[in-house]
Amino acid sequence: MSGNEFDERAVAERQEPEPTEAWPSREQAVGESGNGAPAADAPAAEAEADTVSPEADTVSPEADAAAPSPEAEAEAAAPSPGTDEPAPNEPDPFASWPQAESAVVVEDAPDEGTSLEHVEGEIDVPDGYTVLEGMPLGKRRSVAVVVSRFNGGLTNRMLSRALDALEEAEVAPDAVTVVPVPGAFELPLAAMALAKTRRFACVIALGAIVRGETPHFDYIASEAASGLQLAGIETGVPVAFGVLTVETVEQGEARIDRAADAVRTALEMADLFARLRASAH
């Protein structure tokens, strides 16, 4: 076969594809047209559709100047800094939400200069409900007091105030066991050991941690709080947190009475647990 014959045959094959259901032959296309005119070849139509004139890709300088750049579009879409409020025409999505009548959540307003964090409150339970509530009573109860020797200028006064509060609650002196430990870090371990003996209705932990120049304060305060809570959770014996975490010694001296609060908390929880056990039988 000569080169010319091979080229002519290749052109004929390229122009006459194999007839298929989706691609009829030239004779079938002519027969279906009804007027004897050959149907347009699909490959040719596709080629024409895929052909784009050079003029279509040419953009005039005027149109290019009028079109905004991507940087300008991004700046227009980005909100201006420092404006979190919605646009004036946009509705407020929180307009239908109930508004608080007051930001003060304390029933009784404290005296001027009193911290809101330590205002006492009462729980009003409607009639018809069963209420289990403990009382800070110390009769016939054995109490353990674990106290830190570190910052003894504060903890000695806290211990004295705690013993006074126990006496006021009618806890007999011979029913109180005092356990000094080196520091606040050792309070949880001693409280856990005392609670596990099952000899005491409650345990009171007293200590004072004063912030210094290093992060030591944060580690000790965190571990003392979580450890004392763990001692109560694991044993089921109330463990009261009477540890001061203050910035200065002066702040600690102003909070010595927190030891008495810890005593009342421990006795109330011990009485509550006793009532709970009694109601279960």
Token readout for 96 is 């239908």
Give yes or no for a contact between 30 and 38, defined as CB atoms under 8 angstroms apart: yes
Q: Hey, CA dihedral for 179, 151, 225, 170, is it positive or negative?
A: positive
Closest CA relative to residue 136, chosen from 169, 162, 161, 160: 169
- Can you point out the beta strands (E) in 110-247? 143-148, 176-181, 202-210, 239-246
- Can you point out the beta strands (E) in 38-192? 143-148, 176-181
Token readout for 51 is 């052909």
Token readout for 154 is 């504060």
Q: 281 an active-site residue? A: no
Which residue is catalytic, options 216, 249, 254, 276?
Answer: 216
Residues 6 or more apart whose CB falls under 8 angstroms from that of 181 comprise: 146, 147, 148, 149, 187, 189, 190
Give the catalytic positions in this structure: 216
